[in-house]
């Protein structure tokens, strides 16, 4: 997958993308990440990319010309049929694991990162969709772009060490992940559940499913409304709810 990020601050991406899983994905040729600075497409010798907003107000707004020219450059120099342009903005659809899986099927993703007070509204015409990582405002779109690239990369074959890793992540199937344990077996009186040493993979899978449901019920019950649940799952949740009511 090729990823292009249009950002005024390309150095912000060096740390997150030059280490760990993302770096290995690039080394293995699974990811091909490019950062494009819209200043390089400014019309004037001072490389201005922003201006004060019409109608008054504080802050500066990103001008449309550099962004449009940057996108024209990408269109002329890359030729991927399955391409998606994503605008980073707090008023966009909230990014999710479902969206990460949707985006992982594209050959090229282009992230448009705003900064300062925001974009000239005409820049939104360049995007296929507008995305956010939450209901809060950040200084720019760089951090959201990093988050989304990391989440999408995990969905690509060969990026993770084990093909089983992604499907067990929280949110992958609409639920939070079950508790994980490793050595030592006992620590400060806290013991690993015995079921994990049973060797019975079916029982372990059933335990993990129940614990995933329990964790989701306790921390993010809103997720259960959209999760794909079996009758057994619903009975378990009903029992959890009954116990919670009894404790009140």
Task: Give me the active site residues, please.
Answer: 90, 117, 154, 169
Dihedral (C-alpha) 79, 83, 85, 86: value to the nearest 10 degrees? Answer: -140
Of 137, 148, 116, residue with least CA distance to 48:
116
Please state, in angstroms and rounded to a whole number, the distance separating the CA atoms of residues 59 and 123: 18
The partner residues of 62 in beta bridges, in order of sequence, read 50, 119
Is the link from the previous residue into 184 a cis peptide, with omega within 30 of 0?
yes
Q: Are 209 and 175 in contact (CB under 8 A)?
A: no
């Amino acid at each position: 997958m090729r990823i292009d990020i249009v950002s005024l601050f390309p150095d912000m991406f060096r740390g997150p993308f030059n280490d760990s899983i993302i770096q290995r994905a690039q080394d293995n040729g699974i990811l091909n990440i490019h950062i494009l600075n819209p200043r390089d497409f400014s019309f004037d010798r001072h490389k201005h990319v922003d201006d004060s907003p019409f109608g008054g107000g504080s802050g500066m707004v990103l001008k449309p010309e550099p962004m449009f020219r940057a996108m024209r450059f990408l269109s002329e120099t890359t030729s991927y049929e399955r391409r998606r342009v994503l605008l980073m903005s707090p008023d966009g659809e909230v990014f999710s694991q479902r969206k990460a899986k949707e985006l992982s099927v594209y050959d090229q993703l282009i992230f448009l990162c705003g900064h300062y007070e925001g974009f000239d509204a005409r820049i939104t015409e360049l995007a296929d969709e507008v995305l956010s990582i939450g209901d809060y405002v950040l200084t720019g779109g760089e951090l959201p772009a990093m988050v989304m690239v990391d989440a999408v990369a995990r969905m690509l074959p060969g990026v993770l060490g084990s093909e089983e890793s992604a499907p067990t992540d929280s949110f992958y199937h609409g639920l939070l992940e079950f508790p994980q344990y490793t050595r030592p077996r006992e620590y400060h009186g806290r013991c690993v559940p015995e079921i994990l040493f049973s060797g019975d993979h079916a029982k372990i899978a059933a335990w993990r499913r129940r614990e995933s449901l329990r964790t989701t019920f306790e921390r993010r019950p809103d997720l259960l409304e959209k999760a794909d649940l079996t009758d057994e799952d619903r009975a378990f949740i009903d029992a959890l709810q009954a116990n919670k009511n009894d404790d009140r």
